[in-house]
Amino acid sequence: MGQLRKPPLLIEALMLLLALLFLLPVCYLLMMSIKQPAIFYDPFKLPNQLYLEYYKAAFQDVAFFRGLGNTLYVTLGGLVLTILVASMSGFVLARMNQRFFRYVFLFILSGLIIPTVGSLIPMFKLAIALELINTRTLLVFMAAAAGIPMATFLYSAFTKSIPRELEESAAIDGCGRLRLFWMIIFPLLMPATGTFVITNIYAAWNDFVTPLIFLNDPSKMTLMPQIVQFMANKQSINLGPVFALSVLSVLPLVVLFLFTQKYMLKGLVMGSVKG
């Protein structure tokens, strides 16, 4: 289907226009973070100098690095914990064919359908009972619990492409089960890990609802609620610092995205073929 023919210039121009339309809000975000106060609310004036006071204010008024640290802690903690437990369970579930394991697999997959919304309040109670309320550890556990179904599914799908002989010969050479998994199987499952990380890191980083509900100590806050609180405190004054803070919080993800977007598509293609 014209796979090799180049499409006409007119269509290309239209697509470019569309792309620019999509990019416009991003440019606007950047622009607003460096626009001087005098012209801040005049939508048609472009900033003519690099005005960095907002960034200074963002660093001074908000503990940006603390928020960044908290976000990193929760995001990476959740991903690492998910990968640790789901890679093992996915592998085991793909290898075992007894009825019990098939039911366990279905039980875990049902988590893909049941939404977290339904359990927010009992979750709140559970967190109090476990004395995990208002801790970042709780967020790590919740992120892991929510990520496990998808990750287990991915790992078990990829496990099926690893030949069993590999495990048998390693076992003959006297390799223990855990070592066998972490030294031999886990590296081979790297594509699954990559796919999972690339497709989940954005949602984890940008999560707003969970920290909003389960954290209230400002020193533990992640970036997203931090921005909203900052905005609420600044209502009547210039929103410049809020934009600056937003740019700072988005920047790491944009950089990551630009470097990994090729793999993102590849991972999805692989996932869809295997699944």
Q: Which of residues 19-48 bind another protein (CB under 8 A)?
A: 19-20, 22-23, 25-26, 28-29, 32, 41, 43-44
Do residues 57 and 240 touch, judged by C-beta distance below 8 A?
yes
12, 56, 80, 134: which one binds another protein (CB under 8 A): 12
For position 123 contacting another protein by CB under 8 A, the verdict is yes
Do residues 154 and 192 touch, judged by C-beta distance below 8 A?
yes
User: Hey, which residues between 166 and 205 contact another protein (CB under 8 A)?
Assistant: 202, 205
C-beta of 110 vs 169, nearer to another protein = 110
Residue 267: HSE in the Cβ half-sphere, 13 Å Cα cutoff? 19
Residue 149: HSE in the Cβ half-sphere, 13 Å Cα cutoff? 13
For position 213 contacting another protein by CB under 8 A, the verdict is yes
Tokens standing for 216? 């209230």
For position 17 contacting another protein by CB under 8 A, the verdict is no
Smallest separation (angstroms) from another protein to the CB of 265: 6
The region, left, alpha or beta by phi > 0 then psi within -120 to 50, assigned to residue 201 is alpha
Q: Which stretch binds another protein (CB under 8 A): 47-55, 58-66, 166-174, 254-262?
A: 254-262
How many angstroms separate the CA atoms of 186 and 91, rounded? 9
For position 97 contacting another protein by CB under 8 A, the verdict is no
Smallest separation (angstroms) from another protein to the CB of 92: 7
For position 83 contacting another protein by CB under 8 A, the verdict is no
52, 96, 116, 183: which one binds another protein (CB under 8 A): 116
For position 81 contacting another protein by CB under 8 A, the verdict is yes
For position 239 contacting another protein by CB under 8 A, the verdict is yes
Smallest separation (angstroms) from another protein to the CB of 226: 9
Provide the strand spans (E) within the chain. none
State whether residue 204 is helix, strand or coil: helix
How many angstroms separate the CA atoms of 202 and 262, rounded? 16
How many angstroms separate the CA atoms of 254 and 23, rounded? 13
Q: Which stretch binds another protein (CB under 8 A): 48-56, 158-166, 171-179, 242-250?
A: 242-250
